[in-house]
Structure 1
Amino acid sequence: RLLVDLGWVAAPPGGPAPAWPELPLTDVELHGIYAPAPGGGLRVGGDALPRQSGWPKLTLFVDLAAIATDLGAPVAPRLLLLDAEPGSAFVRSWTPAIMAPEKHRGYALQWFTFALVAGVIFVGLHWRKSN
């Protein structure tokens, strides 16, 4: 089984859950990016999948093992992020979490400066004057 990320459906804040667009009942050809599941983040409220009986099920954290347990079948180690489709009710805007090289250089400069300052403080505190 391959998990397919259809995208997002906007919901009004504090309002009822949005109406889910109808999915095709026939075979379809899918195009997208075969990517790892999003990692990190906080697991708020534990595993919500077993507490839900109907479909679609909602979760805040994509845990492939928990989803496989809920489905009762193994799932692929990655998921498919579908390409944007002009007429789709789902919002598909996949932005990779890539840090620009400038940010890497900034972090390097910050840590090398910290190391230099720590070295100067260490030498300053341990310097012994001879008479």
Structure 2
Amino acid sequence: MKSVSLKHKFKQLNWPMVIFTMLVFSLLIKLGFWQIDRALEKEQRQQHISELSQRQALSLAQVLTLSGLQDGINDLPIQLKGDFVGDKVFLLDNQPNKSRLGYRVYQIIESNGDAILVNLGWVQGSIDRNILPEISPITGQHTITGHVREVEVGIQLQAQNLTNPSWPLRVQQIELDKFSELIGKKLLPFVVYLDKKETIGYIKNWQPIVMPPEKHRAYAFQWFSLALAWISLMVWAAIKMAKKDRSE
């Protein structure tokens, strides 16, 4: 009789709701573990950056030699000597700094026949979108130190139209292939971010790690809490529904 009763209860289960409940629960748990993985990745990168900060700056030739390695070249310290191309300035749009919107300023430096895009820092923008900030391009030969960063192109809702450019050129993303076509010369596949101690350039507020590991763990805790709250709510709803059915 007991087995028959269990089979009867088993058949009475609202299986679509059970499946939906478990799918949502599994998704929330997965998001929590994903945030934990991201926290571990950030900790490893922090350690890597700390180790690199103790190293002497590499030459461009040394960086290019290392570019094929599995670990990549992100965050490597570099020293460049070359000539800035003063007539080509890129302004990366929608860049915040202390609750203010502005631009990151990029110029090209040519060193031993290679062209490299350099992040010179941040400048504040105008409320009027038709007004671009006044930029005094860097010209002449300079020796600069900075860190290498490979470009990651994010999701674009609409492709950038860079035909008939006027300089300085406002852009929504750094796309080295398209920039290369504009200047008629192949840019190397990374950007150099100036060190904060450099006197040339603008406000150097770039952070290699935007979201620290602690924040990822906080998000993980939130996802796990939501998973617990969700499964508790659905169990409570199921018990309440069962009691209601028995009373009828």
Output the TM-score relative to the length of structure 1. 0.69
The change in CA–CA distance for 1:112 and 1:126 in structure 2 (over 3 A counts) is same
Pairing 1:1-131 to 2, within 5 Å after superposition:
1-10=115-124, 14=128, 17-24=133-140, 26=141, 28-37=142-151, 39-40=153-154, 47-53=160-166, 55-84=167-196, 85-86=198-199, 88=200, 90-127=202-239, 128=242
Contact 1:7 1:92 survives alignment (8 Å): yes
Give the superposition deviation at 1:2. 1.8
Give the superposition deviation at 1:33. 0.6
Identity score, percent? 29
Moved more, 72-81 or 89-98: 89-98
Contact 1:11 1:18 survives alignment (8 Å): no
Q: Match for 1:18: what amino acid?
A: E
Output the TM-score relative to the length of structure 2. 0.41
TM-align CA RMSD: 3.2
Q: Partners of 1:18 and 1:40 in 2: how far apart?
A: 27
Q: Partners of 1:12 and 1:126 in 2: how far apart?
A: 57
Moved more, 93-102 or 115-124: 93-102
For structure 1, list consecutive stretches of 5 or more residues without a partner in the other structure: none
The change in CA–CA distance for 1:7 and 1:125 in structure 2 (over 3 A counts) is same
CA deviation digits over 1:4-53, x for unaligned, max 9? 122245566545641414411x3x32210101336548678x52532315
The change in CA–CA distance for 1:64 and 1:19 in structure 2 (over 3 A counts) is closer
For structure 2, list consecutive stretches of 5 or more residues without a partner in the other structure: 1-114
CA deviation digits over 1:74-130, x for unaligned, max 9? 3222100122323x3533332234323331222111111111111112222334459
Q: Partners of 1:7 and 1:123 in 2: how far apart?
A: 54
The change in CA–CA distance for 1:89 and 1:79 in structure 2 (over 3 A counts) is closer
Q: Give the number of the structure whose residues are more often strand, by fraction.
A: 2
Count of matched residue pairs: 126
DSSP 3-state at the match of 1:32: strand
Contact 1:41 1:61 survives alignment (8 Å): no
Greater RCO (CA < 8 Å, at least 6 residues apart): 1
